[in-house]
Amino acid sequence: MQIDGKTKTCGLIGDPVAHTLSPVIHNTLAQTRGDDLVYVPLRVEAEHVQKAVEGAYALSLTGLNVTVPHKSAVIPYLVDIDPLAEKIGAVNTLVRQEGGFKGYNTDMPGLLRAMQSEGITVKEQSVLLLGAGGAARAVAFLCMSEGAKEILLYNRTMEKAERVAKEAEAAFGRSCIRVISKEELLQLTGSYLAIQCTSVGLYPNVDDVIVQEDALYEKIHTGVDLIYRPYETMFMKKVKAHGGKTMNGLKMLLYQGIIAYELWNKCEVSEETAAHILQKMKEELGIHE
């Protein structure tokens, strides 16, 4: 493609950003659709977040993605924020508008679209969330907004889980989330959609799993792991070994990027194009199925 004065510029701010797959998503999208846009990762240290946001606007950037550790830090420097992002307290997409940027959270809509593409529903489901960090908090909010029947939250530190539960219930005015102990987790009856929200099992610690006991995996009909490196985590292997369906986090990464791209360009990306981008991401990761 020819890059000139009419080319839109978007990017990613975070620290680190060297190994991000986001340029694969957005530059392939632009190439596939014939859009005049380029996307670059931009390393920004924590003390420079305000300058980065204001500088991006001054430089006429169309939009930015935001990754760790800046997803909450950017919020004070926005001129507007989407209600979902405000509830979650984290922003991963900035969209240019008059006077500055508006913040969105496309991570959770991205996870929802990824699950829908695999035939996984949240509405009226009994959901088991593993973890109580920022990702688990956002997923709890998603499950609340999508009408989960009940949400059971397990974390090794119960105090963190209690805090997430209270925040989710306060945000939505519903009392359907309950923190459970390890003992309660292993004694569950019924069948669950389980979403693994911790970094346990992330490369290179590929043999790690948050819960070892088979008693848990016998109760999981579908296991979603937000990790995509490795492509099949130990959590997923254990769910599969007990007859459950599994999904990793690669499609979530894909769709959060697609939603950001749609916001920047006021367009709709087809599922055919999404499948093409997913294949490019797999090639970048060296995944051959």
Catalytic residues: 71
Return d(Cα 255, Cα 25) in angstroms, integer. Answer: 9
Contact 110, 252 (CB under 8 A): yes
- The two tokens of residue 89 are 């307290």
Nearest to 132 by CA among 98, 179, 71, 100: 179
Return d(Cα 18, Cα 21) in angstroms, integer. Answer: 9
Contact 96, 79 (CB under 8 A): no
Contact 141, 134 (CB under 8 A): no
Contact 91, 80 (CB under 8 A): no
**Do you find a cis peptide bond into 41, omega within 30 degrees of 0?**
no
Q: Which residue has the tokens 């109580």?
A: 132
